Amino acid sequence: MAENRLTRELDKRTAVERPTHWAPPELLPEPDKQAGYAYRWIRVASLNQADPRNLSAKLREGWEPVRIEEQPRFQMLVDPNSRYKDNIEIGGLLLCKTPVEFVEQRNKYYSNQADAQMDAVENTLMRQSDPRMPLFNEGKTTSSFGKGS
């Protein structure tokens, strides 16, 4: 009879099903990670004013812009009026990458800076301490129990 029907596999809608639950859209999509690289969105404009100073500092720090060919799913999201035609810019932010080693070295550098600042604050505070009335009474704890009646 009706031999020109579509097969059951083509008739199913599983390929075009919508998500089962609603979620707010992401402001910045997460890039597909490439092994050995860290990704970051870097400001290139704020309130429609270019910010070349920030971009220049990040480029000197080791960040490099990600080309659109590396992340093809971003092609529809890219601003058509972008100054960075071959790169991924969304809302004044440029997607950049750098080797993970650079990120680890940067984190260690700033951790050492913070530790040095804390040591300086503690040394300044302890310099003002007087033995007759110490600021801190470290290492001397006591506990006592009351007598029961």
How far apart, in whole angstroms, are the C-alpha atoms of residue 103 and residue 83? 27
- Among 14-23, 83-92, 139-148, the range with the most confident prediction by mean pLDDT is 83-92
Report phi then psi at 103, rounded to 5. -65, -45
pLDDT at 21: 83
Higher pLDDT pick, 34 / 143: 34
How far apart, in whole angstroms, are the C-alpha atoms of residue 55 and residue 84? 12
Is residue 99 within 8 Å of residue 36, measured between CB atoms? yes
Q: What is the DSSP letter of 133?
A: B
Choose the weakest-confidence range: 1-5, 111-115, 129-133: 1-5
pLDDT tens sequence across 3-41: 666 555 555 555 566 667 887 887 888 898 999 999 999
Confirm whether pTM is higher than 0.75.
no
